[in-house]
Each structure stands twice: as C-alpha cells, then as structure tokens.
Homo-oligomer: A and B are copies of this chain.
Amino acid sequence: MKLYDCAVAPSPRRVRIFLAEKGITVPTVQVDLRNGEQFSESFRKINPECTVPVLELNDGTRIADAIAICVYFEGVKGEPPLIGRDPASRARIVAASRRAERDGFYAMVEAFRNATPGFKGRALPGTADYEQIPALAERGRARVARFFETMEAELAGRAFVCGNDYSLADITVLVTIDFAKWIKLTIPESCVHLRRWYDAVSARASAKA
C-alpha cells in the first residue's frame, strides 16, 4: 500500500491528519505539485485526473479522493472512530464535514486559484483548463470570512465541531483555516470560541502531519 501525497498541499493533509489520529502509518510517495509533476506521463498513469492524494492498495486498486481514503481507513481500523460510532453520529459528522468542505474548503480553493498568478488558465484542479474568474476569487474570500463566523457560533457550546469528540469534521475545518492563511485570511479576534478550538486542535500531535 502507498499514498501519493504532497507535503505542502491542503487536500492530502486531511488524509495525513486522519492517519495520525488513527495511529496508522502508510508509506508515501511525494508528488511535486509546485513543479507540475502531477501532469507528468508517469503520474497520469496513476491518476488521469492529475490530483493528489491517491491511495494505492496492495491489489492495485486506486482511490483518488481525500475523503474516500479516510472512509477506507475508518472501515479498516474503527478505533478511534473519526466518522461516528452509530448511524446518527456518522450522518452528523458527514453532514458537518461536507458543509465545512463546501462553505470553507472549496470557497478557499476558489479564492486561491482564481487570484494566484501561477494558476492562470487552470482555475480548477484537474486536467481541464479553465480561465480564472476574478469575481469568484472575491466571492470565495467573502465566503471564507462568513464560514469563520458560522463556526464561531457553533463552537460556542461545543468542544469539537460535532460535540464532545474529535472527528473528520474537525480535520476539514482545521485544514481550511490553515489553507486560508495562504491568502492572509485569518480567524478574526472576535471569534473567541473558534480560536479556542483552533488552538486545541492545532496542539494535537496529528496537526503536524
């Protein structure tokens, strides 16, 4: 088994944190996204969509999606549960993680890729070439700012995003917040609950993954 990874990229970091929380070690192969290695002929054979992370199982099966890889490892090693202990908690965590991805992570991707000179002509991940849309970069920034406020309100009464236990939803929010620093969007001073939560999850050993 091996994980195609890129140490500086936000999306595979979700998998690395998940694995660290589970106490699972998987050999990694670094793909140099900054120099376009994902578009090389050899990596296209691994993942024609030219994205990381990709998990390759021993039978050759490849899973080219960060959350799907987490779902795989949750099934292989249930403890500690990071996607719930029963159907209702699983559904709540999936809903919270999806919302954080949609309103936070993807909004950040829009803000970043539509405004960064190096992504001119490839505003979306993958192999299709789409032009940057400046209005989308601006909307992305506004959405990330709004996402901070939403999380602030929710974390007022909770230790973690879905209650008393650390979960996949916390990973999605943490990675989004660290990603947002790339474009100088930081948690407002006024968001005291979100800051308290951020300090706590950042202090976990897994956050270094």
- Chain A positions within 8 Å of B, measured between CB atoms, are 49, 55, 57, 59, 61, 63-65, 67-69, 71-76, 86-88, 90-92, 94-95, 98-99, 103, 126, 128, 130-131, 133, 135-136, 139, 142-143, 146
Contacts and interface: CB of A to CB of B under 8 A. Distances in A.
A49 to B, nearest CB: 8
Contact of A128 (B74, B90, B128, B146): B146
A61 B89 CA distance: 10
Contact of A65 (B55, B94, B133, B142): B94
How many identical subunits does the complex contain? 2
A142 B126 CA distance: 14
A92 B131 CA distance: 30
Residue among A69, A88, A95 with most chain B CB within 10 A: A95
Contacts of A131: 135
A47 to B, nearest CB: 11
Nearest to A123: B139
Contacts of A65: 94-95, 98-99
7 contacts: A55-B91, A57-B88, A64-B95, A68-B92, A68-B95, A128-B143, A133-B135
Given A95-B63, A128-B146, A71 B90 contact: yes
Contact of A90 (B72, B95, B99): B72
A139 B133 contact: yes
A92 B72 CA distance: 9
A63 B55 CA distance: 30
Contacts of A73: 87
A61 B87 CA distance: 12
A55 B94 CA distance: 14
Contact of A136 (B55, B59, B92, B133): B133
Contacts of A72: 87-88, 90-91
A49 B92 CA distance: 15
A153 B15 CA distance: 29
Given A61-B88, A133-B139, 14 more contacts: A61-B92, A63-B88, A63-B91, A65-B94, A65-B99, A67-B94, A67-B98, A68-B91, A72-B87, A72-B90, A103-B126, A133-B135, A135-B135, A136-B136
